[in-house]
Structure 1
Amino acid sequence: MKKLSVLFAAVMMVVSVGTAKAQKIATLDVMGVLDAMPEKKKADADLKTFLDAKQAEIKKKADAGQAKLKQYTDEAPKKTAEENKAREAELSKLNEEINQMQDKAQKDFVAKRDTAYEPIEKKLNEIVTKVAKDKGYDYIMDANSSAFIYRAGIDATPDVKKALGL
């Protein structure tokens, strides 16, 4: 019985040492930090300007197509079947051009967004790594993640914002 008590005490010591070396985990409001960064605000404004310009270009082409459609529809009874067929083909080609412009604008936007956000994300990751090392965190998790059911640990958001000068 005495050996069992000593064994139990030894197991408890090992468990308590393991608990004392528990990993430090913190959370971070990633979107909150990103939204506070001036670089992201500028990138967002530049992307909005880019997108607005592309949409205006597409709208201009679509409006021209609508005007042609109205004109061709009004004139159709006075035209021959061949002329109407040629006009229909022209309108179909114009519609395809508009669809291609939309696809290209979307691809250009994604490429521009990725290029604009890459240095911002790199800077944030470097700061998060620095804060984690300085504060001794083993993990920093995104506080906005839906994987969290309960969160009551350390919040690293103020430390990261401070390190970024926000």
Structure 2
Amino acid sequence: MKKVLFATLFVMGLSTIVGVKVQAQNKIGYISMDELVSVMPEAKKADTVLSQYRDGLAQAQQQIQQELQTRYQAYIKDSATMSQPKKDLETRGIQELANKLQNYNQDAQQQMSLKQQEVYGPIQKKAMDAITEVAKENGYAYIMTKENLLVSPPTDDILPLVKKKLGIK
């Protein structure tokens, strides 16, 4: 009985020591995802695509805004000579156009967000795949984003390794 108890305690102590050694050997690294994505060649193309998309949305918004302004100015100019039913009709039309502009602005923000996810999704996936490969190749157990760290123990910045993996200078 004493031998079984001694053997059990010995195995538990040994596994604790091994666990501490394994835990002490875990390498921790960090990387700035923003910096990595910004230096990837695909990001420049994505920025151009988003800029063109944003310009298209802004142009459509300007057209609605211009139509609203023109219609309002015409209402102000002609309202003195309009009958009350005509004034009511024009007021309702102007209000509907103002609502259309407001709804368009909200929709444009949503569309811009979706377009950004569509354009940057593959770039971010490529970056994550490269980070994962670098972590495996270099024995990193944990990789954290630099943007989310307030305080961290001394660790390795793997950005140069990932840039090299992606062929970025």
* Corresponding residue for residue 61 of structure 2: 58
- Structure 1 Cα separation of the partners of residues 33 and 153 of structure 2: 15
3-state SS, counterpart of residue 138 of structure 1: strand
Aligned to 1:118: 121
Deviation at 1:151, TM superposition (A): 4.4
- How far residue 15 of structure 1 moved from its aligned partner, in angstroms, is 4.5
1:66 deviation in Å? 0.7
Once the 2 structures are TM-superposed, how far is the Cα of residue 41 of structure 1 from its aligned partner? 1.7
Compute the displacement of 1:120 (Å): 0.8
**TM-score, with structure 2 as normaliser:** 0.83
Q: Does 1:138 align with 2:141?
A: yes
Find 2:94's aligned residue among 91, 96, 100. Answer: 91
Three-state SS of the structure 1 residue aligned to 2:144 is: strand
Between the aligned partners of 2:61 and 2:95, the Cα distance in structure 1 is 16
User: 1:8-157, aligned counterparts within 5 Å?
Assistant: 15=17, 18-19=20-21, 21-22=23-24, 23-145=26-148, 147-157=149-159
Structure 1 stretches lacking a partner, 5+ long: 1-10
The runs of 5 or more residues in structure 2 that have no matched partner are 1-12
**Partner letter of residue 125 of structure 1?**
M
Opposite residue 118 of structure 1, the aligned amino acid is G
Letter in 2 for 1:39: E
Q: Which SS does the other structure have where 1:25 is aligned? A: strand
1:104-138 C-alpha deviation (Å, 9 max, x unpaired): 22222122111111111111111011000000000
Q: How far 1:19 sits from its partner (Å)?
A: 3.6
Percent of aligned pairs with the same amino acid = 25
- Counterpart amino acid of 2:63? K
- Quote how far apart the aligned CAs of 1:100 are: 2.3
1:51-100 per-residue CA deviation (whole Å, 9 max, x = no partner) reads 11111111121012111101101111111111111100110111122122
Paired residue type of 1:34 = V
Q: How many residues align?
A: 157
Aligned partner of 2:42: which letter?
E
Q: TM-score, normalised by structure 1?
A: 0.85
- SS at 2:151 equivalent: coil
Aligned partner letter, 2:164 = K
**Following TM superposition, by how much is the alpha carbon of 1:36 offset from its aligned partner in structure 2, in angstroms?**
0.2
Question: Where does residue 158 of structure 1 map in the other structure?
Answer: 160
